[in-house]
Amino acid sequence: MYDRYKREINYLRISVTDRCNLRCRYCMPEEGVRLLRHEDILTFDEIVKFTESAVSMGIWKVRITGGEPLVRKGITELVGMLAGIKGIKDLSMSTNGTLLKNFAGELRKAGLQRVNISLDTTDPEQFAYITRGGNVADVIEGISAAKKAGLLPVKINCVVRESREEEDAKLVREFCARNNLEIRYIHQMDLVSGHFTTVEGGSGGNCPLCNRLRLTSNGMLKPCLFSDIGFNIREISYREAIEKAVEMKPASGMVNHKDNFYNIGG
Ligand code: SF4
């Protein structure tokens, strides 16, 4: 399927939860967040049936995101259900990696193909500061477990304030070089002010080539990360929601006053 700007839309990012076991300063506010009620979160059945519709219309690349997807109870079962959908050629997950050592093997068996893991520094104190209490050793163990399980390639998402020359980013770059990992630099974004740049080493934020739709954990189909537009898949048919989202996809991102990174999955 193509949008008004002749961009092929073939990539669906699915946020399966707004919850996370970390509290990264650029994502979660100090005062914490008002979490969605259980009944507001899409069921596995809804996610799978929606994705089947999306695949029948041209989606073949699916990314599972959060919050932190590994805190969603039964996540391996959901991965297995999605992996069973004929037509998905690329099934991946974005994770903070802290729980991955416990899940990598079973996720691979369930059909997950690869992972993107967040790592903004390898300095334990800095990591604990950025994540408000996380342990970088858990992420490093998660990366090893992902490689061992065959969730390849493992790509590292490194959030930077201004540039890849920041000390923390240099540490991550050296770590990736030593461990044969692909690194991408994601400049801090601001949904409200509409500040964002293209992901260095990736395709995110490159509006003229944008190929993605996003499904939030409470069932809003978003044509664009930096837009207030969204269609509730519990109110209209899945097909109609997808058609409307593709039709209403903006040429480029503007601002988003409705969502937060932790419920839209970046
Ligand atoms: S800002 Fe919107 S149009 Fe641009 S790359 Fe992101 S999702 Fe695509």
What is the Å distance from ligand 1's center to 208 Cα?
A: 8
- Residues facing 11 on adjacent strands: 61, 212
Residue 131 confidence (pLDDT) above 90: yes
Residue 266 confidence (pLDDT) above 80: no
How crowded is the C-beta side of 34, counted as CA atoms within 13 Å? 2
Which ligand 1 atom is nearest residue 223's CA?
Answer: 7
What is the Å distance from ligand 1's center to 229 Cα?
A: 12
Q: What is the mean pLDDT of residues 212-220?
A: 97
Residues whose beta carbon lies within 6 Å of some atom of ligand 1:
205-207, 210, 212, 224-226, 252-253
Tell me, what's the pLDDT at 161? 93
In angstroms, the CA 119 to CA 98 distance is 10
What is the Å distance from ligand 1's center to 225 Cα?
A: 6
129-133, 173-177, 204-208, 213-217: range with lowest mean pLDDT: 204-208
Residue 254 phi/psi, 5° resolution? Answer: -120, -95
How sure is the predictor about 203, in pLDDT bands with cuts at 50, 70 and 90? confident
Q: Whose CA is nearest to atom 4 of ligand 1?
A: 207
Tell me, what's the pLDDT at 202? 86
Ligand 1, pocket-test mutation among 192, 198, 224, most atoms within 8 A of CB: 224
What is the Å distance from ligand 1's center to 200 Cα?
A: 15
For 136-168, write each residue's pLDDT tens digit: 999 999 999 999 999 999 999 999 999 999 999
What is the Å distance from ligand 1's center to 143 Cα?
A: 28
Tell me, what's the pLDDT at 138? 98
Q: Where are the domains of the chain?
A: 11-264
For 226-250, write each residue's pLDDT tens digit: 999 999 999 999 999 999 999 999 9
Which ligand 1 atom is nearest residue 209's CA?
Answer: 5
Q: What is the mean pLDDT of residues 89-116?
A: 98
How sure is the predictor about 259, in pLDDT bands with cuts at 50, 70 and 90? confident
How sure is the predictor about 169, in pLDDT bands with cuts at 50, 70 and 90? very high
pTM to 2 decimals? 0.96
For 18-54, write each residue's pLDDT tens digit: 999 999 999 988 777 788 999 999 999 999 999 999 9
- In what helix (H) or strand (E) does residue 63 lie, and over which residues does it extend? strand 61-65
3-state secondary structure of 154: strand
What is the Å distance from ligand 1's center to 196 Cα?
A: 9
Architecture of domain 11-264 in this structure: Alpha-Beta Barrel (3.20)
How sure is the predictor about 84, in pLDDT bands with cuts at 50, 70 and 90? very high
In angstroms, the CA 183 to CA 116 distance is 9
List the structure tokens of 158.
Answer: 């490194």
Amino acid (1-letter code) at residue 154: V
Q: Whose CA is nearest to atom 7 of ligand 1?
A: 224
Tell me, what's the pLDDT at 228? 96
- Contact call for residues 152 and 42 (beta carbons, < 8 A): no
Ligand 1, pocket-test mutation among 5, 8, 252, 264, most atoms within 8 A of CB: 252
Tell me, what's the pLDDT at 188? 94
